[in-house]
Amino acid sequence: MNLAEARRDIVSLGPLEKRVTIAVDALLAIATTVVILAWILGRPLFYSPSSPVMSPFTAFSLLVLVLVRQGRLHDKDWPVTLNFAMTGLVLGGNVSSMAMIALMPPGVWTSFSAVVLTSAMTSAGLVLFCLYDLAIVVRETPRSPFLLDDLLLHLALVPGGLSLLGYFLSNPTYLSVHADPRVGISPLEMGFMALYAVAAVVSNPRLFLWGFLASGRTNRLVFAGLFANQFVAPLVVALVFSSRGAKGPGIELFVMLAGVVTTVSFLLLQARAQRR
Q: What is the pLDDT of residues 216-241, one digit of tens each?
A: 888 889 888 888 888 888 888 888 88
pLDDT of residue 140: 61
pLDDT of residue 259: 86
Q: Which of 78, 75, 96 minimizes the C-alpha distance to 86? A: 78
For residue 56, name the pLDDT band (cuts at 50, 70, 90).
very high
pTM for the model: 0.86
Q: Which of 52, 54, 132 minimizes the C-alpha distance to 90? A: 132
Average pLDDT over residues 247-255: 83
What span, in angstroms and rounded, lies between the C-alpha atoms of 191 and 268? Answer: 29
pLDDT of residue 9: 53
pLDDT of residue 30: 95
pLDDT of residue 2: 42
pLDDT of residue 58: 93
C-alpha of 52 from chain center: 18
Give me the percent of the chain exceeding a pLDDT of 90: 20
Average pLDDT over residues 133-144: 71
Q: What is the mean pLDDT of the chain?
A: 83
